[in-house]
């Protein structure tokens, strides 16, 4: 009975935060919002200044296009720097608490170092959830729209963004097929510049079949503006529009053409499943998929890495050194995270290791530093 009452008391403390919890959370969230807005605005202004000449040089460009660029670019900047802003906000919060000796008072009331960090960590968990939702609903769309606008040299009349503007390769038997662009409107799938490299049973190239575009509708493929190049006599034969007899499903082109940064988590996961079922290597896409979770979640460990600025024996002049250690830890995490992402995308290490190992290592490092300075 006593144990049950003790458990109930602990759960109640978590569900009903104390006034001190709310105080620490309020200090942190106010600094986070101010820093995020200020940092993102400054970076947006610098980026806009560097791109303004290119934007205004676009066909039919007007001054209002600068505002359009800012609206498309700002969500990406805010998303990218949200974890770093959480680190700065935590550092500034701990420094202020230290300067006013509030850390000493809080610890004297019986709170441990990790208990002091807990309110900020919970706020960071909430920020991480909002960050993930923000990425999935706004950032992926604005990034794709901005990418399409840039590829059209910031022209005023920009065509709808294709699903892919990169070369997509598909193999069917001995034939290799290259597609330079893919557009899909929900009913009609359009492939731009389709080239078929036809090979014999010895995998020697015999001819090329090029179509300006291919269309999939009503269950069949059609090729338009077709030309055939024969390697034996170097002849080029114009052909009429023709049906394309192929077993390649349209979903295969859609899955191969996916750009991880331009699609949401469910769409990317669906494309990975489609490619994995066909035997394709999906390490790069799986790494990007996991990074969609890890990037927002990295915000949660920032108060832990900033805790060095708050705890331990403070002597004259050591606070600046502690701040530098916190910043070094933060920058070290972002560098290591980007390095492991690259290794995962190239298939050097498994995607789940590439995504989660840096976060695990720096969580342990931050916890070790706090324990070490406390002792």
DSSP letter string, 16-83: S--HHHHHHHHHHHHHHHHHHHHHHHHHHHHHHHHHHHHHHTSTT--THHHHHHHHHHHHHHHHHHHH
Query: Confidence band (pLDDT; 50, 70, 90) for 2?
Result: low
pLDDT above 80: residue 98:
yes
Helix 64-99 with 113-134: angle, nearest 10 deg? 170
Give the integer Cα–Cα distance in Å for 10 and 115: 13
Instruction: Outline where 57-211 has alpha helix (H).
Output: 64-99, 102-108, 113-134, 140-151
pLDDT above 70: residue 143:
yes
Residue whose C-alpha is closest to residue 76's, from 327, 261, 266: 261
| Structure letter (DSSP) for residue 247 | -
pLDDT above 70: residue 375:
no
Any bridge partners for residue 223, and if so which?
214, 242
* Mean pLDDT of all residues in 13-41: 88
* Mean pLDDT of all residues in 270-290: 85
Residue 128, token pair as written in the block: 């991480």
pLDDT above 70: residue 315:
no
pTM reported for the whole predicted model: 0.81
Contact between 358 and 336 under an 8 Å Cβ cutoff? The reply is yes
Average pLDDT, the chain: 86
Helix 64-99 with 318-345: angle, nearest 10 deg? 130
Query: Confidence band (pLDDT; 50, 70, 90) for 189?
Result: confident
- What is the structure's pLDDT at 201? 85
Question: How many helices and strands (H and E) does the chain possess?
Answer: 12, 7
Three-state SS at 314: coil
* Mean pLDDT of all residues in 12-34: 85
pLDDT above 90: residue 101:
no
**What confidence tens digit (pLDDT) does each residue in 37-83 have?**
999 999 999 999 999 999 988 888 888 899 999 999 999 999 999 99
- What is the structure's pLDDT at 7? 60
Residue 29, token pair as written in the block: 């969230």
- What is the structure's pLDDT at 186? 66
**What confidence tens digit (pLDDT) does each residue in 198-218 have?**
998 888 888 999 999 888 887
């Amino acid at each position: 009975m006593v144990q049950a009452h003790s458990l109930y008391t602990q759960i109640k403390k978590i569900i009903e935060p104390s006034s001190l919890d709310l105080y620490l959370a309020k200090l942190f969230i106010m600094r986070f919002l101010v820093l995020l807005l200020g940092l993102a605005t400054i970076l947006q202004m610098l980026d806009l200044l560097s791109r303004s000449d290119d934007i205004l040089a676009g066909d039919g460009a007007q001054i209002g296009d600068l505002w359009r660029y800012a609206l498309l670019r700002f969500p990406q900047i805010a998303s990218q720097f949200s974890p770093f802003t959480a680190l700065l906000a935590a550092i500034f919060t701990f420094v202020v608490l230290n300067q006013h000796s509030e850390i000493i008072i809080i610890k004297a009331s019986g709170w441990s170092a990790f208990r002091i960090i807990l309110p900020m960590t919970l706020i960071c968990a909430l920020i991480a959830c909002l960050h993930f939702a923000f990425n999935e609903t706004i950032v992926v769309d604005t990034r794709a729209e901005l990418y399409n606008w840039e590829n059209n040299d910031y022209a005023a009349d920009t065509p709808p963004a294709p699903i892919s503007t990169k070369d997509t390769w598909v193999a069917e038997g001995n034939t290799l097929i290259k597609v330079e662009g893919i557009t899909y409107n929900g009913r009609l799938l359009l492939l731009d510049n389709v080239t078929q490299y036809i090979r014999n049973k010895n995998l020697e190239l015999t001819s090329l079949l090029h179509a300006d575009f291919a269309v999939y509708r009503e269950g069949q493929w059609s090729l338009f503006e077709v030309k055939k190049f024969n390697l034996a006599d170097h002849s080029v034969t114009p052909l009429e529009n023709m049906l394309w007899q192929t077993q390649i499903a349209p979903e295969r082109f859609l899955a191969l053409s996916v750009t991880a940064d331009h699609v949401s988590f469910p769409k990317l996961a669906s494309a990975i499943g489609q490619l994995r079922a066909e035997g394709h290597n999906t390490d790069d896409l799986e790494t990007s998929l996991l990074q969609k979770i890890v990037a927002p979640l990295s915000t949660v460990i920032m108060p832990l890495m900033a805790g060095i600025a708050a705890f331990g024996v403070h002597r004259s002049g050591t606070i600046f050194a502690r701040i530098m250690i916190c910043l070094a830890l933060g920058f070290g995490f972002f560098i290591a995270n980007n390095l492991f992402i690259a290794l995962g995308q190239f298939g050097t290490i498994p995607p789940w290791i590439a995504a989660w190992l840096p976060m695990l290592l720096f969580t342990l490092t931050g916890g070790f530093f706090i324990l070490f300075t406390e002792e």
